[in-house]
Structure 1
Amino acid sequence: MSKNIKLIQAIKDKGKNIEAEMSFFDHLEVLRWHIIRSVIAISIFAIISFSYFEQLFDTIIMGPKKPEFWTYQMMCKVGDALNLEGFCVKNLNFNLISTEVGSQFMLTINGSLLIALFLGFPYLLFEVWLFIKPALTKIERKSAQGFVFYATILFFLGALFGYFIVVPLSINFLANYTLSPEIHNNFTTDNWLSTIATLTLGCGIIFLLPILIFILSKIGIMTPEFMRASRRYAILIILTIAAIITPTADILTLLTVSAPMFILYEVSIMVSANVKKRKEQEEKEFYNS
């Protein structure tokens, strides 16, 4: 009987909170200011990137094209240590070309915006957190503490993995793949920038998997039992994604790209199990109080 009374009281309290919530248009106004501040932040980072774009272009964007790139040097050392013939990257068989009048200027603009988006990602997460925070209960806010910090760390780890591992491995294979000696590899600057940005930012987003699992587990959609039962399908999906990202027949490369994804999946299972354990503990404390 007392449990039913507590449950009814909890429903009433929730109803009072709903009545106290802002109207739909108030939410739109708040969202508008979050978007404005985010745009301003990205614009500031874009201006800074534009001012130093020549150095950023030569060091970051053109880095994976140079045989002295850090990853290629490590591949040469690993190849020499393990006696793997052809593992060392000494030449990348392609040239970058500009095919339109304003393509180099647009490369500067687009490159500055992409670098600004990368640098401003933590602030974008912070604005997202500020927007959703008022809608959360006290318990939900407490459980979501560190959202911006952990999401930022995971994103940057994924982006670094994409830039230093996935990008050079993919470029090395695709640039040196030859269908016919009559065909010469001349890639446009837009295609080059798009490839680097897609693989780098894509890996950064993939590394946010534990955060996504945490959210899905909190709302009851995902459970650790389901993830453990689906592990074999997850392995197949991860290998497929790794094969798409790095279209190469090299098993070592495939395993190098897929290994972090396997680790992320196992970490996500632990995150989901921890969320379930906390929910069960909170329910037990609620009924015992």
Structure 2
Amino acid sequence: MNRLPSDTPNDRARPLGDHLLELRRRLWLSIAAFALLAIPGWTLSERLIHQISRVTGPLVFLGPTEAFAARLKLSAVLALALGAPIFIYHAWRFVGVALTVSERRVLLGALPFSYLLLLLGASFGWFLIVPTGLRFLLGFASADLRPTLSVHACVSFALWTSLGLGLLFQLPVVVGALARWGWVRAATLARYRRHAVLGILVVAAVLTPGPDVFSQLLLAVPTYVLFEVSVTLARFLEP
């Protein structure tokens, strides 16, 4: 088998100083990309906060810098999300020489898939789960309980919810890796499909901020689809 160029002895025998210079260069390139992407992130942050306020009504800020800090945090998260392919590329170029050919092939297939699932999960959380959750939680308002929601609290709630859904959507990647290593088999997952469905429904009923069936299905159906994708992926990847 022909070795890839990065497998040559010259690449692996570079002095430590060269590696440090390469690391510094790629860190600065990543920082520059982050700073540039934070500019459109700042513009998008206003639209995303407006989307939240359509559910909650006008938001307040309890300190002079709170509104600025909330938009800054949101724009930073957007810059990280949009720039992830750039950051991963530079990390790959730096550490890729230390990986075997098989390891590189696995990562080249897994990383884009994982990134896409992360974006899908986070978008699903922000645009569907967060509005549903806010409407339910605001339903606890009464004559004695009047909501005064700060922009910091709402942005943090939306970000953490979106991050949680993004991580949940990594299920096929995790199961695929476990199947590749021989720790999980597709036949075993398929055998316990009914148990998985029951567990998904229970978790959706507990985590979904709303007693209605629609809200629960909103989380349960995508989770079940992820389970089926995981089973199919495990079938292809297991040794």
TM-score normalized by the length of structure 1: 0.67
- By how many angstroms is 1:150 displaced? 2.0
Structure 1 residues 120 and 202 mapped into 2: Cα distance closer, same or farther (>3 Å)?
farther
Structure 1 residues 110 and 93 mapped into 2: Cα distance closer, same or farther (>3 Å)?
closer
Indicate the residue corresponding to 1:263 in structure 2.
225
* Unaligned residue ranges in structure 2 (runs of 5+): 1-7
Among 146, 154, 167, the alignment partner of 1:184 is 146
Partner of 1:122, secondary structure, is helix
- Is the Cα–Cα contact under 8 Å of residues 45 and 75 in structure 2 kept in the other structure? no
Indicate the residue corresponding to 1:102 in structure 2.
65
Query: What is the CA–CA distance in structure 2 between the aligned matches of 1:22 and 1:197, rounded to whole Å?
Result: 43
Partner of 1:186, secondary structure, is coil
Among 25, 47, 52, the alignment partner of 1:64 is 52
Matches within 5 A, 1:152-191: 152-178=115-141, 180-191=142-153
Identify which of structures 1 and 2 has the higher relative contact order when contacts are C-alpha pairs closer than 8 Å and 6+ apart: 2
Query: What is the CA–CA distance in structure 1 between the aligned matches of 2:29 and 2:99, rounded to whole Å?
Result: 22
1:45 aligns with 2:37: yes
Query: What is the CA–CA distance in structure 2 between the aligned matches of 1:22 and 1:227, rounded to whole Å?
Result: 44
Letter in 1 for 2:32: I
Indicate the residue corresponding to 2:237 in structure 1.
275
Structure 1 residues 35 and 183 mapped into 2: Cα distance closer, same or farther (>3 Å)?
same
Indicate the residue corresponding to 1:201 in structure 2.
163
Indicate the residue corresponding to 2:112 in structure 1.
149
Structure 1 residues 31 and 118 mapped into 2: Cα distance closer, same or farther (>3 Å)?
same
Letter in 2 for 1:64: I
- By how many angstroms is 1:247 displaced? 1.5
Q: Which moved more, 1:243-252 or 1:92-101?
A: 92-101
**Could you give the per-residue CA deviations for residues 55-75 of structure 1, whole angstroms, max 9, x where no partner exists?**
x34422221332xxxxxxxxx
**Could you give the per-residue CA deviations for residues 160-203 of structure 1, whole angstroms, max 9, x where no partner exists?**
2112211111111112233x421101111111111111222322
Query: What is the CA–CA distance in structure 2 between the aligned matches of 1:33 and 1:205, rounded to whole Å?
Result: 30
Letter in 1 for 2:115: T
* Unaligned residue ranges in structure 1 (runs of 5+): 1-16, 67-91, 280-289
Letter in 2 for 1:249: P
Indicate the residue corresponding to 1:6 in structure 2.
none
TM-score normalized by the length of structure 2: 0.78
Partner of 1:62, secondary structure, is helix
Indicate the residue corresponding to 2:79 in structure 1.
116
Query: What is the CA–CA distance in structure 2 between the aligned matches of 1:170 and 1:33, rounded to whole Å?
Result: 43
- Is the Cα–Cα contact under 8 Å of residues 119 and 166 in structure 2 kept in the other structure? yes
Query: What is the CA–CA distance in structure 1 between the aligned matches of 2:95 and 2:234, rounded to whole Å?
Result: 21
Indicate the residue corresponding to 1:246 in structure 2.
208
What RMSD, in angstroms, separates the aligned Cα atoms of the two structures? 3.3
Query: What is the CA–CA distance in structure 1 between the aligned matches of 2:29 and 2:178, rounded to whole Å?
Result: 28
Query: What is the CA–CA distance in structure 1 between the aligned matches of 2:93 and 2:220, rounded to whole Å?
Result: 34
- Is the Cα–Cα contact under 8 Å of residues 45 and 119 in structure 1 kept in the other structure? yes
Indicate the residue corresponding to 1:75 in structure 2.
none
- Is the Cα–Cα contact under 8 Å of residues 217 and 223 in structure 1 kept in the other structure? yes
Query: What is the CA–CA distance in structure 2 between the aligned matches of 1:149 and 1:158, rounded to whole Å?
Result: 14
Count of residues in correspondence between the two structures? 231
Mark the structure with the bigger radius of gyration. Answer: 1
Query: What is the CA–CA distance in structure 2 between the aligned matches of 1:126 and 1:33, rounded to whole Å?
Result: 13
Among 96, 102, 122, the alignment partner of 1:139 is 102
Letter in 1 for 2:65: G
Query: What is the CA–CA distance in structure 2 between the aligned matches of 1:130 and 1:222, rounded to whole Å?
Result: 31
